[in-house]
Structure 1
């Protein structure tokens, strides 16, 4: 049984790299901590878990900006 729900394998289908997943999850968790409106039904009291659930549900996307 996996301790992470949603699973890391499933989350990796939503992003292009583990680094992207970590950055996106951390930034979204910070937004939730600062009072941002949740995009999905909260299943946990932990912001990181809620951020990962939002990513898994496709509610949160990220874009990598290229430097000019």
Structure 2
């Protein structure tokens, strides 16, 4: 799987900090999903999280408490 470009990812978020937090949160959620490993086909959770962000599958909002 080819990684999405940083330019594309930055168009989906307001800062690199938000991108890192959103990616980490999504990757952790994928690792906790029991069906993910069966359907991953060798794709690492961080790569899948970046791909999901690039495709616009995630909706997130940066608050004072963190990502929502």
Give the TM-score of the pair, scaled to structure 1: 0.76
User: 2: distance between equivalents of 1:9 and 1:43?
Assistant: 27
Root mean square deviation, CA, Å: 2.3
Runs of 4 or more, structure 1, over 2 Å off, are none
Higher RCO (CA 8 Å, separation ≥ 6 residues): 2
Pairs aligned (count): 61
1:21-68 per-position Cα deviation (integer Å, ceiling 9, x unaligned): 000000000000000777xxx67520000000000000012112236x
Gaps of 5+ in 1: none
Distance 1:58 1:43, change over 3 A: farther
Gaps of 5+ in 2: none
Higher strand residue share? 2
Higher helix residue share? 2
